[in-house]
Each structure stands twice: as structure tokens, then as C-alpha cells.
């Protein structure tokens, strides 16, 4: 990645979540993105890399991913907010100490960004169990 100042403060002005980067110091924001790379999906890595490192416009990214720019913009905004969430940090730090099912649900929802129905298909758990495990995670975080 390029230097943190140009990468992080680039063109985030259009996002409601842009305050996340401005509240953090440059180094911390850069480190947060670097750490997230290990936990997010490859398509999300590609999106972050294209936008922040290569400074590719959203319309060009959308063209390369065969989506409309509005979809890419929304996806990037959700990804940034997800990376800066307390649940994301909690799962990165304490994931190995959690029970297998709690971590699997947290990984799908908070780290990978899957929906409840996708999580249900991937884990084989009922929606009731998914909700209860999510509650356990959010209570552990203190929200």
C-alpha cells in the first residue's frame, strides 16, 4: 500500500462513514485496513485495494466488477463501517477463544459481511441460533 496519508484521506468525502477515517490517526487507519485484509472476502479486498491504493474511481471499479457505481459506493461504505465496528475488532482479538459456532456466525456476519440467510446456509444453523450467537457477541462487546 502507498503512504498512509494519501491512501486513507484520499477521496472518502462522499461517504457518511468518512468520519471514521478522520477520527483515527493516519497510522491507525492504515493499520486497521491492513489488519482487515486477513479477514475480509477477496472481492472486498479487491475493492479496498482499487479504491485506496490504486485510487481508481468508483465508476471504473464498478465497470471492472460489472456492477453499477451506486452499488459499489454502497458496498464500500458498508465495508468501511464494518471494518471500524467494535464487533469486528472483538472477533479479530478474541475469535479463537470463542466457541466454534459463535465464531462461525461472527465470522460470517461481522467479518465477511454475509446476510443472515447466507450465514444460515454456510453454517447450517437455524436463524434462532444465529440471532442468539449474535446477541452473545454484541453483549460481549458491550453494545
Sign for the CA dihedral angle at 20, 110, 31, 63 comes to: negative
Residue from 19, 72, 70, 12 nearest 44 by CA: 72
Total length of the chain? 143
The pLDDT assigned to 108 comes to: 97
| Cβ burial 45-56 (10 Å sphere, 16+ → b, else e) | bebbebbbeeeb
Q: Ramachandran region of residue 115, left (φ > 0), alpha (ψ -120 to 50) or beta?
A: beta
Contact, 58 vs 43, CB < 8 A? no
Report the alpha-carbon distance of residue 44 to residue 26 in Å, rounded: 21
- What pLDDT digit, counting tens, does each position of 55-98 carry? 899 999 999 999 999 999 999 999 988 998 999 999 999 998 99
**Whole-prediction pTM value?**
0.76
The pLDDT assigned to 7 comes to: 32
**Contacts of residue 53, Cβ cutoff 8 Å, sequence gap at least 6:** 1, 2, 7
Amino acid at each position: 500500500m502507498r503512504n498512509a496519508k494519501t491512501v486513507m484521506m484520499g477521496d472518502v468525502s462522499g461517504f457518511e462513514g468518512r468520519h471514521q477515517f478522520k477520527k483515527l490517526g493516519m497510522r491507525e487507519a492504515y493499520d486497521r485496513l491492513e489488519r482487515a485484509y486477513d479477514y475480509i472476502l477477496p472481492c472486498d479486498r479487491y475493492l479496498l485495494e482499487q479504491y485506496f491504493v490504486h485510487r481508481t474511481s468508483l465508476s471504473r471499479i464498478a465497470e471492472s466488477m460489472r456492477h453499477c457505481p451506486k452499488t459499489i459506493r454502497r458496498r464500500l461504505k458498508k465495508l468501511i463501517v464494518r471494518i471500524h465496528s467494535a464487533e469486528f475488532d472483538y472477533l479479530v482479538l478474541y475469535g479463537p477463544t470463542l466457541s466454534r459456532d459463535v465464531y462461525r456466525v461472527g465470522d460470517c456476519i461481522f467479518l465477511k459481511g454475509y446476510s443472515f440467510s447466507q450465514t444460515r446456509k454456510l453454517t447450517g444453523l437455524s436463524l434462532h441460533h444465529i440471532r442468539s450467537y449474535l446477541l452473545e457477541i454484541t453483549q460481549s462487546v458491550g453494545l
